[in-house]
Amino acid sequence: MMLMVSLPARINILGSPTDAVEGAYGTVSAAIDRRGGARIEPADGLQLRRETGATAMFEPARIDAPGGFGVEAAAVNALLQYAPELSARLRTRGAAISTWTTIPTSSGLAGSSVLVLAVLAALRAHAALDPRRYNDYVLAEIAQRAEEHELGVVCGFADRYVPVFGGLAYLNYHGKLWHAPLAEEPFVTYERLDPAVRPLRFVVATSGVRRDSGTVHGPMREQYLAERRRGGGPLVELARRIGETAWRGKIALLADDLPAFGRLVTRNQELVDELMCRCGFTEGAGDEVRMLARAASDAGALGAKLTGAGGGGAIFAVAVPGTEERLADALRLAAERRGLDASETFVTSVAATGLTVAERA
């Protein structure tokens, strides 16, 4: 019996990057209609495969410490630490795990996190781990530890929660500043907003410039925490103002005030740009990001900002309803004129469905 796991990508709409550097604020984030996932079936030992054809094989005696295979091995190792019963179950009933994705690589859309989560969810189901003990909140938390501790990527929590729970949501990170061990800090509070607001469609434009989010969040978080220990500073104040865009954006969404919502998106972009400049990134959020956000504004977008860590990746734009395709065309033209040959622009809806697991005979 094969199990099929699927999760959506995400965009951080407002409040970012407070999910990665601050534990007192929130974000408005959304799952979108690009997905990644994994297939898992019984095998001899542990087998990890990718769409590229890359494969890693671990005999039953080596299942306790699979390594050298990126996010997939990181996910397995993290789950082995938090679910000690997994080791014996994999020895008894091995697993062949194949990952797949339709999410542009290193684009700021949580593509790596989706694959970590897919492997975790596949193993939870395949090894019949207790779904109450290893519930979806725990799965999201383990995914964050997999990337931070196994891969050394400084990261927050939105990328791990949104693909699991789906929809458009307000995420509250209160109490998560120090990234304490699992069960020694609160879970993220995940409040779905999409049932209460009009259906939204976003225009996403990737720059085609790949970047590692950890190289951005690392120095940013280090400087931010130093200021917190001293009792304040410019980054602490910027985080407060960025966090404010999220709760005000939630109010605007619930009031169906899209122009106000769009202005907050643009304001968040301005604040992130300032934050990154203060952290030593001379191009702020990145020249390509700035150009695409400006092109969206010039084409009539209500608001536009980066999604992800910046320095590359992607932007999203809030269009006047009914003008999404026209805005997408304008962004494609802007990317072409800038010579961003690897750029991709698409219109996407909010993905109401998060994690899915299905059987296939």
For residues 153 and 267, membership in a common domain is answered with: no
Alpha carbons 289 and 182: distance in angstroms, whole number: 35
Per-chain mean pLDDT for the chain: 92
Give me the pLDDT at residue 76, please.
95
Residue 226: give the domain boundaries: 198-349
Which CATH number covers residue 103?
Answer: 3.30.230.10
Say yes or no: 121 and 211 in one domain. no
Same domain as 230, residue 90: no
| pLDDT tens readout for residues 7-40 | 999 999 999 888 876 777 999 999 999 999 999 9
pLDDT in tens, 149-174: 999 988 889 999 999 999 999 999 99
User: Helix, strand, or coil here: 202?
Assistant: strand
Q: CA 81 to CA 96: how far, in whole Å?
A: 20
Q: What is the pLDDT of residues 210-269, one digit of tens each?
A: 666 557 778 888 899 999 999 999 999 999 999 999 999 999 999 999 999 999 999 999
Mean pLDDT value of segment 281-303: 92
**How many domains would you assign to the chain?**
2
Query: What integer pLDDT is reported at residue 212 of this predicted model?
Result: 60
Is pLDDT at 68 greater than 60 in this prediction?
yes
SS3 of residue 304 by DSSP:
strand
Domain co-membership, 164 together with 206: no
**Beta bridge partner(s), residue 168:** 30
- The reported pTM is 0.95
- Region 42-52: mean pLDDT is 93
Half-sphere exposure of 27 (CA within 13 A, CB side): 29
Q: Render the burial of 313-335: b for 16+ CB within 10 Å, e for the rest.
A: bbbbbbbeeeebeebbebbbebb
Co-location of 112 and 35 in the same domain: yes
Is 308 found in the same domain as 190? no
